[in-house]
Amino acid sequence: MDEVFKALADASRRRLLDSLNARNGQSLRELCAGLDMARQSVSKHLAVLESANLVTPVWRGREKLHYLNAAPINAITERWISQYHRERVHVLADLKRALEEEPMSDLEFVYTNYIRTTPERLWRALTDPAFTSRYWGVTFESEWQIGSTVAWNVNGVRMADHAQVVLEADPYSRLSYTWHTITPEFAAAYDMSDELVAKMAGEPRSKVTFTIEPVGEMVKLTVTHDGFEPGSAIREGIQHGWPELLSSLKSLLETGDPLPSPDQAAAQPA
């Protein structure tokens, strides 16, 4: 957390974060042009932001793109704002809200978190129904081999489709699969309008990729959800769910308990 505060203390680095918040997934060249900063200066500032986990680099061929990562801001919020609720720290709440509510990119979502666990246990948490049911409320039916189908069970609704398949499966390192179909049963269970269902059904199928990297006693988890068209309704729907979901996953692996759902949290005594 010290690295996060030090990174945020510099005005030039805050400008870089503002630029990525406005348009995520920029290259070094684009960041230099947009901020009128020397390439060497931008590179040094990005290295500090990456070290603090405030920026996640993603390679697209030979090009390195940079994505703003809200996870450290979540950690600051959980440690300070949730505990004290003082007006003087509301600026941090505003920053967290800005990072999570502004679209990161029209075409993809990238989120990085560090979890005190092992790659093997994290893999189980992403695939084993005993884990996924606790923090996600979902169980999967799959052999987790490339080409295997992935059926979803959510609140009594089963979603299966021949195009819901595993794309990559390197145990303890990388897992990727196509996103689920919006079935009539799912739409009815979540009271989705016919207009929204029709819009989602007309979009290309997206995919999610989990990259697992051991870092000392911790594991770096990067989630990339992409394959969206500009203005995607599904992209709009997942951008708020992923940060909450991954925070709950981190809590489960580190403490043994997932985060309470919003309904459960509201029911807690003040």
The overall pTM is greater than 0.75: no
**Does the structure show a pLDDT above 70 at 8?**
yes
pLDDT of residue 91: 46
Q: How far apart are CA 194 and CA 33, in angstroms?
A: 43
Q: Among the ranges 26-30, 141-145, 233-237, which has the highest mean pLDDT value?
A: 141-145
Least confident range of 77-86, 87-96, 191-200, 247-256: 87-96
**Does the structure show a pLDDT above 80 at 172?**
yes
The percentage of residues in the chain with a pLDDT greater than 70, rounded to a whole number, is 84
Mean pLDDT of 24-34: 87
Condensed to tens digits (0 to 9), the pLDDT of residues 81-128 reads 555 444 444 444 445 544 554 444 567 888 888 999 999 999 999 999
Kindly give, in sequence order, each residue whose CB lies less than 8 Å from that of residue 139, ignoring residues fewer than 6 positions away: 129, 132, 133, 152, 153
Mean pLDDT of 222-232: 92
pLDDT of residue 105: 56
